[in-house]
Structure 1
Amino acid sequence: MAHRSENIVLVAWMLSLTSSLAVLFIGEVLGQIPCSLCWFQRAFMFPLAIVLGLGVWWRDPMVARYGVILAAIGAVIALWHLGVFYGLTPESIRPCSASGPSCSGSEMTVLGLPIPLLSLVAFGAIATLLITSLRKNPNE
C-alpha cells in the first residue's frame, strides 16, 4: 500500500515541477512580468516542487502533510487572484497597483485561459493528490 501512496506523491511532485517550469517559461521566455499575486503563488509552488521532490527521493511518508499545507495556501491565493481577474474582489483589497503589472489584464492569460485559473487547478490537484496519499497510509 505504501508503494501506491509514493506513486501518488510522485504525480503531485511532477505536477508542481511542471507548474514551476511553466511559470518560469511564461516569465523568462515569453517576457510576461508577474503581478504581485503571481509572485505570492510562486512563493508556494516553487517550494512544493522542492519539498515534494525531496520527499519522493527520501521516501518520506510525512511529505504529503507538509505539501498539502503549501498547496492549500497557494490555492487560496489563486482563488483570490481569480476573483481579482474577474472583477469579483472589492477594489479596496486588490493588491495590484497602476505602477506594476495588472492582476487582471489580458496579459494574465495563456492560450486563452486565465493564469489564476490554471494556478488554482494546479494547487487543487496537488492538494487532492496529497490528501489521497495520506488516506492510503492512515498510520503515517
Structure 2
Amino acid sequence: MAGVESLKPDSTKGDEPAWVCLFLAWCIAAVSTLGVIFVGEIMGQTPCILCWYQRAFMFPLAAILGIAAFRSDFAIWRYSIPLAGIGALFSFYHSLIYVGVISENLAPCSQGVSCASSDMDIFGLVPLPILSLGAFFGIVALNYFMMRRVKI
C-alpha cells in the first residue's frame, strides 16, 4: 500500500527514542500545568509571585512540546530549553528561599502567600518550588537527550 506510506509523519529517520524523550518532556509539562491549576483552583492555594513567574514559563512548554510531539518536530529544543532553563532559575531561587538559604526579606512576595510558607507544600509533603525545579530540569534533560539522539 503505497498510499499508507505517505501518511506517516516525517520523523527524522524514524527516531523513536528521540520521540519518546519529546513525549515524556511534554508529559512533564502537561502534568505540571494541570497540577498547578489543581492546586490553585481546586485546593484553593493562592500562588506567590515566584510561582506566577514559574507558571509563565511552564504553561507555554505544555503547548509547544505537545505540538512538537504531535508533529515529531525535534528542533523544538531551540525553544523549549531556554524556556525551561529560565523557569528553572526562578524555581531554584524560590527553592533557596523555601529551604532558608536566602532570607525571605529578599523575596519578591510582599503581598499574599509567603514564598517560604507551609502553604507551598502539596498535601503537606512535597514543596512546590522543589517539585517545579525537578520538572524544569527533567524537561531540559529530556530535550538534551532528544537533541543528542537526532544530532540537530
Bin the TM-score by the shorter chain.
Answer: over 0.9
Q: Tell me the TM-score normalized by structure 2.
A: 0.86
Q: Against the structure 1 CA distance between its residues 32 and 21, is the aligned structure 2 distance closer, same or farther, given a 3 Å change threshold?
A: same
The count of corresponding residues between Structure 1 and Structure 2 is: 138
Q: Please say if residues 20 and 45 of structure 1, whose CA atoms lie closer than 8 Å, have aligned partners that are also in contact.
A: yes
Structure 2 counterpart of 1:110 = 122
Task: Give 1:68 shift.
Answer: 1.1
**Uncovered stretches (5+) of structure 2, i.e. residues with no partner:** 1-13
Counterparts of 1:64 and 1:4 in 2: how far apart (Å)? 15
Q: Residues of 1 paired with 2:137 and 2:65: CA distance?
A: 15
2:135 is the alignment partner of 1:122: yes
Aligned partners of 2:104 and 2:115 also within 8 Å: no
Asked whether the 8 Å contact 2:84–2:139 carries over to 1, the reply is: yes
Matched-pair identity in %: 40
2:69 partner SS: helix
Instruction: Note if contact 1:9-1:64 (Cα within 8 Å) is conserved in structure 2.
Output: no
Matched-pair contact (CA < 8 Å) for 1:27–1:33: yes
Would you say the 8 A contact 2:104–2:116 is kept in 1?
no
How far has the Cα of 1:65 moved from its partner? Answer: 2.2
Q: Which residue of 1 aligns with 2:90?
A: 77
Counterpart code for 2:33? S
Could you list the structure 1 runs, at least 4 aligned residues long, displaced by more than 4 angstroms after superposition: none
2:34 is aligned, of 21, 36, 52, to 21
Partner of 1:59: 72
Contact 2:54-2:91 within 8 A present in 1 as well? yes
Structure (1 or 2) with the larger CA radius of gyration: 2
Counterpart residue number, 1:11 = 24
> What is the CA–CA distance in structure 2 between the aligned matches of 1:135 and 1:128, rounded to whole Å?
11
For structure 1, the residue ranges without an aligned partner over 5 or more in a row are none
Q: Equivalent residue of 2:47, what SS?
A: coil
